[in-house]
Structure 1
Amino acid sequence: MELGTYALIGERSLWALLPLATYLVLIFMGKKALSATLGGVAVGIVLTMLGPGSIARMFASSMGSFLALIGLIIMLGSGLGELMLKTGVSKTIVKWIIDKIGVNTEKKGILAIIVSSTVICGLLGTLAGGNAIIAPIIIPVVAAVGLTPSTVGAVFQSSGETGLIWGPFTGPVVALLAVTGLSYGRMMLWAALPFGIIWLVVIYFAAQRIQKNTKGKEKYDEADTNVDEVEITKEEILTTKVFNISFALLIGYGIYTGQGTSYAIFVMLALSIIISLVSRVGIEKGLGHLTTGMGKMASMFLLFVFLQVMLDLINLGGGFEALGDILMVMVDNLGREALMIAASFVGGFGVDGAAVAQLQITHDIFAPAVEAYSLPMEMWAIALIAASRITTSVYPTANMVGQMGIAKSNNIKAMLFGGWAVSLAALVYIIAWSFIGIRIFF
């Protein structure tokens, strides 16, 4: 596709980045990601002066794009999460974790939240949805040992974010594997595991500091501290065991045979059918739960369709290539190591919106320089993780406020303390790794 006859920009023009600038401005003005992306598309259409037919073909093409595939996977993940909730699988997993840890101290309470949130958010692929599911089960348990809402909220945030970079079929992980070309195992070994372990270790100690500062000043209501035994039926136990085994086998097969991004669709559908049958919910009712959950993420699918169109419009004007020329000069002056550091800071502090969108945009901005200087994907992956995760931890974004609400907290300072603690620790690691890793891979 070519620029319109009366296009306001030429090829390889920095002005082609105006749609992206519009998107970022609208995001930081508080607009929702879908509205901000639509604004960016509108500016791109004006700059390129494409006709209605060309625009229609661009949207049709975006429906079959990689980003649209990610949107579908996220929708299926939400649907599977709804089915897991209705069949008691999520409840059973959380109950097992709590019983295994034996929550009888504040430190064990923090650990129980970390493990439960990381596992459930990683399985479901959603921060708000995952923690909303575990909150009614775990809050009474940790409240009974004295944890404050501020502590719980901060731990929910960082643990859930970690789950999203570890879960094999979460949107950010699928997107990361696709743009880097890494296998799940190599991505975890070199990028996600180090990043996530840093976050979990730091939030464990940061939560203790928050607990010390807020204990005696705030507490959960008496109703929240009543620990009622969560009832789990034999049917729910069987369904959960079959789910865990099936999930492990499907993941193992995918890793062993080197399955691609689309394999996630098969896994989601297979697991949905399996737990529908084992739980005796039945296929028809199970699919009903699946589609209900998928509907909750319909706006996310549209977001990725619009985002792909916006990126196509930018590429049509050569915006990322023009920016890449400037970045080449920076790398020539500062060295290959500067790429990882710059991407982590630019993505983490300068690009906001949906995590997959942040990851994709950051990758597109730096991709020419990454390719030109042959930066190993194992190193580039951790920069993209930082770019897509740090933003929601250092700014009072909707994600952060949402975790406060789930934890029944109103202490934004505690949330920011936890978010800045984990983010700064990760950035220090990335700066050090950018120099050490180069010497390992070259």
Structure 2
Amino acid sequence: MMIFNLPPILGLTPLIVYIILAFRPKIHPLVNVSICLAIGAVLTKTNLLEFGAVLTTSLGSFLGQVGFIIMIGSGLGLILKESGVAENLVHLMVRKIGINSIGRAIIASMLASMFMVLVLSTLTGGNAVIAPILIPLVASVGMTPSTLAIIMQTAGVTGLFISPFSPPMVTIMEVTGLAYQQVLLYASLPVCIPMWLITYFNAKRVQKATAGVSDYPEGTALSVNAYKASPEAKRATLFFGVAMALIVGYGIMFKLGVAHAITVITVAVLATGFGARFKIDKTIDLFMKGCAQYFWIFMLFILMDPFLNFISKSGAFDALVEIGAPLVESGGKVGLSMLASLIGTFGIQGAAVAQAVMLNTVFRPLVDATGLSMHVWAIVILIGSQMTSFAYPGLDMVAATGTARSSDMKSQVKHGWMVTAAVLAVCFVMSILFG
């Protein structure tokens, strides 16, 4: 299928170009994938007139569905923010914990970040919502921006790992065929537990090192008791909480798939808007405004599907399996797990869901050939697609640092390396035990 009868292995050219361009900070991901899509089309002799049909098919693909979920999740996030639900939830949580020491402030910050990311299914968006609320509260006990920054990235991202309808979880369930409970037990919790422990103890260490050196400006501190939710915010919070509990519980009970995530978000939007007594026009306007912020993600995933299909069409993945077979035979299941984890973490960079699908596409033939357990493959995909932002100072790390109003990238990078090393060690152990 390759132009000029080129060797199939050269069909990996778009993937290699994608990886190279992904490490160039000034190139937008949409530009990157568009360039690689064009290269793939040329290599596979795809007529330009066929592009309309290719993109139409992509709209109904799994990647297209996940991109749509991310986009409408952003719409829900704006409604939660404007209705006061997000602020009320954070204050309820930190009031229950009682922020009167650094230890409690760390726990409160971890829970608030994790919970809001879980609810909104976006790391940057979730932290952006809680930052104006959380910063004055933790500043009251002397927490520094450096400490809060590592909490926001690490504890926040675990919210994505335990949410039954977050894009990473939906992706892993889809490609492995495992139920939510299985992914949670064999992938999410084994990764989250060391991340929580490292974050708590390293946050204390960073706090000790930066206290009095890089504190929040004077006047930032604010007592949690100064907040009082409006009746509309309280009612909207109640409606949102009840709706989420019922609809999410229903999805878990009947093992519903990716489509149920769309139902969850739709019901939450309607329940929150009704509880806040928004007019239907206002609810729709807020929802669409929120969606617009992540429309580019939706387009990215629409283009990513044919990009990967062109590589598959070229025969490159089959050729890669032939080359990698001897290496896998010598390393076995453990070797394959660690190789895929390392390549995903250090070699593939981009949107995390796209990374997960790419990792599965590249290595799945070898996984099937070796009989690697789907339980282990789930944790490999989770690590390979999500740890890149800890191994390198990428967008998520920079965003968390800025959201916490910190400029201490050194502490952030060190923390990221600690987390990456720990979860790779967990992957090694899980491969031995369950491979």
| Structure 1 length-normalised TM | 0.95
Query: AA paired with 1:23?
Result: Y
Unaligned runs of 5+ in 2: none
**Does residue 305 in structure 1 map to residue 302 in structure 2?**
yes
Query: AA paired with 2:262?
Result: I
SS at match of 1:408: coil
**Does residue 112 in structure 1 map to residue 108 in structure 2?**
yes
The residue aligned with 1:29 is 24
Q: Please list, as runs of the form range in 1=range in 2, the aligned pairs for 1:199-214 lying within 5 A after superposition.
A: 199-214=195-210
Rounded Cα–Cα distance in structure 1 between residues aligned with 2:319 and 2:349: 22
**Does residue 136 in structure 1 map to residue 132 in structure 2?**
yes
| Structure 2 length-normalised TM | 0.97
Query: AA paired with 1:92?
Result: N
The residue aligned with 1:17 is 12
SS at match of 1:225: coil
Rounded Cα–Cα distance in structure 2 between residues aligned with 1:79 and 1:431: 39
**Does residue 82 in structure 1 map to residue 78 in structure 2?**
yes
Match of 1:290 among 254, 269, 287: 287
Q: Quote how far apart the aligned CAs of 1:326 are.
A: 2.2
1:60-118 residue CA offsets vs partner (Å, 9 max, x unmatched): 21111110000100011111111111111111111111011101111111111110000
The residue aligned with 1:278 is 275
SS at match of 2:406: coil
**Does residue 66 in structure 1 map to residue 68 in structure 2?**
no
Rounded Cα–Cα distance in structure 2 between residues aligned with 1:403 and 1:354: 16
Q: Quote how far apart the aligned CAs of 1:22 are.
A: 0.7
The residue aligned with 1:355 is 352
Rounded Cα–Cα distance in structure 1 between residues aligned with 2:124 and 2:17: 27
1:130-161 residue CA offsets vs partner (Å, 9 max, x unmatched): 00100011111111111111111111010111
1:42-76 residue CA offsets vs partner (Å, 9 max, x unmatched): 21122122212222221221111110000100011
Preserved CA contact (<8 Å) 2:144 2:211 = yes
The residue aligned with 1:149 is 145
Match of 1:268 among 254, 265, 270: 265
SS at match of 2:219: helix
1:55 and 1:100, CA in 2 relative to 1: closer, same or farther beyond 3 A? same
Larger deviation: 28-37 or 386-395? 28-37
Preserved CA contact (<8 Å) 1:22 1:40 = yes
Query: AA paired with 1:159?
Result: A
Q: Please list, as runs of the form range in 1=range in 2, the aligned pairs for 1:153-164 lying within 5 A after superposition.
A: 153-164=149-160
Match of 2:218 among 219, 222, 225: 222
State the superposition RMSD in angstroms. 1.4
**Does residue 428 in structure 1 map to residue 422 in structure 2?**
no
Rounded Cα–Cα distance in structure 1 between residues aligned with 2:76 and 2:37: 31
**Does residue 257 in structure 1 map to residue 240 in structure 2?**
no
Preserved CA contact (<8 Å) 2:237 2:275 = no
1:338-378 residue CA offsets vs partner (Å, 9 max, x unmatched): 12111111101111111111111111111001111221211
Rounded Cα–Cα distance in structure 2 between residues aligned with 1:240 and 1:423: 36
The residue aligned with 1:96 is 92
Query: AA paired with 1:48?
Result: T
Rounded Cα–Cα distance in structure 1 between residues aligned with 2:232 and 2:42: 58
Match of 2:117 among 117, 121, 124: 121
Q: Quote how far apart the aligned CAs of 1:10 are.
A: 5.1
Query: AA paired with 1:60?
Result: T
Query: AA paired with 2:390?
Result: S
Preserved CA contact (<8 Å) 2:332 2:370 = no
Rounded Cα–Cα distance in structure 2 between residues aligned with 1:324 and 1:15: 14
Q: Quote how far apart the aligned CAs of 1:19 are.
A: 0.6
Rounded Cα–Cα distance in structure 1 between residues aligned with 2:415 and 2:4: 46
1:224-283 residue CA offsets vs partner (Å, 9 max, x unmatched): 223472230222122212211211111111111121111111111111111111211132
Rounded Cα–Cα distance in structure 2 between residues aligned with 1:255 and 1:344: 28
Unaligned runs of 5+ in 1: none
SS at match of 1:336: helix
Rounded Cα–Cα distance in structure 2 between residues aligned with 1:323 and 1:282: 56
Preserved CA contact (<8 Å) 2:170 2:257 = no
Query: AA paired with 2:45?
Result: M
Rounded Cα–Cα distance in structure 2 between residues aligned with 1:96 and 1:321: 53
Over the matched positions of the two proteins, sequence identity in percent amounts to 35
Query: AA paired with 2:215?
Result: K
Rounded Cα–Cα distance in structure 2 between residues aligned with 1:99 and 1:385: 33
Rounded Cα–Cα distance in structure 2 between residues aligned with 1:285 and 1:405: 31
Rounded Cα–Cα distance in structure 2 between residues aligned with 1:143 and 1:386: 33
Rounded Cα–Cα distance in structure 2 between residues aligned with 1:32 and 1:197: 34
